[in-house]
């Protein structure tokens, strides 16, 4: 027999699945980048109000908090609502209508699932069948630095919250599978921007100036290599450059050049202390070239470290809702995820939702062809409902 909220979710989906799919497609057609999710926020607020709930828009202008139940303690469910500045290459009816913006990470899926959960919970609340109080966090700007999680926390998103859960699409997992992991599931991630400057000059006479492009080349190759010799390999530090710019003429040494990249690692303790090593090495590398150097090192996000007890809740929920074939181990990702900021305050756990349909091509997250099998939407709702049932069952110590 399904547990109470899971049973209610099955009933709700029997009537409202087309609405769930419709929300996802509407969001997918109208993607908005971080801190610009105004239409998305309006849609979320309208749907929640239609359920008889009282959503609260974040003061930054985008993002929504919504409590269901009287508290004083809440379990929180978080969905991220922003899209990426990427073109949408899919030939589907719900392709992006906003040029150069695309839901290539599945945040439209996360948002639609949480809206459906709001409908289920609202009905359960009216029937007096809630097992506890829930705070829904529709968070903006997950893809930005600084991210929307910090803004939501500053706004009081975690006041009264004991624990927090989230789902994230995983195109490597088949529909029906839930990926679970105790401990770190994503990496710490920092962003580094370096600007080199010099007087410029003619490429025929490099000895009369300082060569910014040569210095950039040294940094591009030597800084990642030196880090690999200064840090325990088990920390899995990865410095990868994503952007390099300098000059416009083949016969002119430019006056400035820039490098931008990310520094990722699995050791969260190192994340807090790596900046001084990176900046010291960068300065030492370029010092013989005589160029000027400016370094901006953004600490980014810590690792998402899943609480073992709450992963146990997730595991029992997946088993209860779908059986043992649904539970999948999942590898740690070197990607960053600002859900980590919530976990600096309260325990939490992030699960991965399988979204790959039978025989579908494998597109990675952040690719312009990324899409899902929409059967995953109902799976996400059912899993989340079963999760709350397990959380409220009293089988584990809460908080």
How far is CA 26 from each of CA 43, 50, 169, 178, 239, rounded to the nearest angstrom? 9, 17, 18, 25, 37
Which pair of structure tokens corresponds to residue 172? 């490597």
pLDDT of residue 1: 59
All CATH 3.40.630.10 domain ranges in the chain, comma separated: 4-184+303-392
Q: What is the pLDDT of residues 186-244, one digit of tens each?
A: 999 999 999 999 999 999 999 999 999 999 999 999 999 999 999 999 899 999 999 99
Q: What does CATH list as the number for 4-184+303-392?
A: 3.40.630.10
188-301 maps to CATH 3.30.70.360 = yes
The stretch 358-369 carries a mean pLDDT of: 93
All CATH 3.30.70.360 domain ranges in the chain, comma separated: 188-301
The stretch 343-368 carries a mean pLDDT of: 96
Residue 260: pLDDT band by 50, 70, 90 thresholds? very high
pLDDT of residue 47: 98
- pTM (2 decimals)? 0.92
Q: What is the pLDDT of residues 5-26, one digit of tens each?
A: 999 999 999 999 999 999 999 9
Q: Which residues pair with 183 in a beta bridge?
A: 306
How far is CA 384 from each of CA 26, 186, 318, 351, rounded to the nearest angstrom? 22, 21, 9, 10
The stretch 383-391 carries a mean pLDDT of: 98
Q: What is the pLDDT of residues 28-47, one digit of tens each?
A: 999 999 999 999 999 999 99
pLDDT of residue 219: 98
| Mean of pLDDT over the chain | 96
pLDDT of residue 397: 46
């Amino acid at each position: 027999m399904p547990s109470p909220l899971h049973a209610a979710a099955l009933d709700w989906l029997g009537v409202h699945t087309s609405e769930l799919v419709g929300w996802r497609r509407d969001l997918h057609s109208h993607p908005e980048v971080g801190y610009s999710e105004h239409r998305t926020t309006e849609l979320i607020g309208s749907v929640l109000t239609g359920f008889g709930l009282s959503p609260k828009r974040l003061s930054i202008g985008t993002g929504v908090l919504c409590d269901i139940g009287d508290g004083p303690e809440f379990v929180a469910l978080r969905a991220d609502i922003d899209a990426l500045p990427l073109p949408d290459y899919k030939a589907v009816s719900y392709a992006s209508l906003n040029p150069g913006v695309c839901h290539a990470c599945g945040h439209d899926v996360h948002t639609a699932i949480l809206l459906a959960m709001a409908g289920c919970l609202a009905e359960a609340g009216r029937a007096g069948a809630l097992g506890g109080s829930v705070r829904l966090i529709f968070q903006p700007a997950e893809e930005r630095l600084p991210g929307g999680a910090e803004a939501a926390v500053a706004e009081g998103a975690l006041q009264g919250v004991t624990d927090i859960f989230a789902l994230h699409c995983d195109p490597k997992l088949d529909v029906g599978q839930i990926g679970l992991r105790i401990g770190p599931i994503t990496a710490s991630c920092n962003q580094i921007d370096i600007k080199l400057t010099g007087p410029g000059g003619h490429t025929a006479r490099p000895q009369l100036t300082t060569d910014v492009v040569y210095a950039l080349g040294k940094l591009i190759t030597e800084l990642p290599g030196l880090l690999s010799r200064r840090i325990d390999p088990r920390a899995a530090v990865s410095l990868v450059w994503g952007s390099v710019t300098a000059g416009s003429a083949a016969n002119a040494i430019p006056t400035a050049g820039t490098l931008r990249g990310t520094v990722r690692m699995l050791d969260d303790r190192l994340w807090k202390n790596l900046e001084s090593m990176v900046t010291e090495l960068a300065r030492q590398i370029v010092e013989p070239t005589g160029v000027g150097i400016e370094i901006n090192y953004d600490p980014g996000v810590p690792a998402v470290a899943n609480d073992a007890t709450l992963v146990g809740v997730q595991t029992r929920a997946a088993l209860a809702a779908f059986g043992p074939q649904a539970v999948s181990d999942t590898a740690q990702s070197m990607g960053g995820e600002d859900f980590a900021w919530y976990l600096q305050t309260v325990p939490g756990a992030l699960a991965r939702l399988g979204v790959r349909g039978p025989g579908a091509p494998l597109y990675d997250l952040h690719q312009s062809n990324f899409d899902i099998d929409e059967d995953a939407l109902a799976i996400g709702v059912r899993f989340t409902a079963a999760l709350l049932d397990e959380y409220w069952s009293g089988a584990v110590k809460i908080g």
